[in-house]
Amino acid sequence: MNTQINLRLSERMLNSAKSYANKNGFGTVQEFIKETVREKLFEKPEINKEELILVKKLAEISLKKNLFGTEEELFKKLKRK
């Protein structure tokens, strides 16, 4: 059995949700919201919070020191073993 809930969104958030849902193949905003909740609750993230923080720090340092030029060059460096 499903339970219905009411959710209040600002006009801006609702418009953004409608736009996102439309652009990404969701039939309704409700479907988009249900899928988003499902992902948050049941799908394992590809990286955890600590790993994300490390990736952000690495990206910041790489940008400051100009360690990579283009996206293509970066991916070439990442594929090297």
User: Is 5 a member of any domain?
Assistant: no
Q: Which residue has the higher pLDDT, 28 or 45?
A: 28
User: Is 3 a member of any domain?
Assistant: no
Write down the pLDDT at residue 6: 94
For the CA atoms of 41, 5, 8, 38, the dihedral, rounded to the nearest 10 degrees, stands at 20
User: Could you give the count of Cα atoms lying within 13 Å of 69 in the half-sphere of its Cβ?
Assistant: 3
User: Is 1 a member of any domain?
Assistant: no
d(CA 68, CA 46): 24
Q: Which residue has the higher pLDDT, 80 or 17?
A: 17
38 and 16 fall within a common domain: yes
pLDDT digits (tens, 9 = 90+) for 7-29: 999 999 999 999 999 998 888 99
pLDDT band at residue 69 using 50, 70 and 90 as cut-offs: confident
34 and 57 fall within a common domain: no
d(CA 4, CA 29): 14
Which residue type, as a one-letter code, is found at position 17? A
Domain count of the chain?
2
CA distances from 54 to 26, 61, 72 (A): 33, 11, 22
Expressed as residue numbers, the domain containing 17 is 11-42
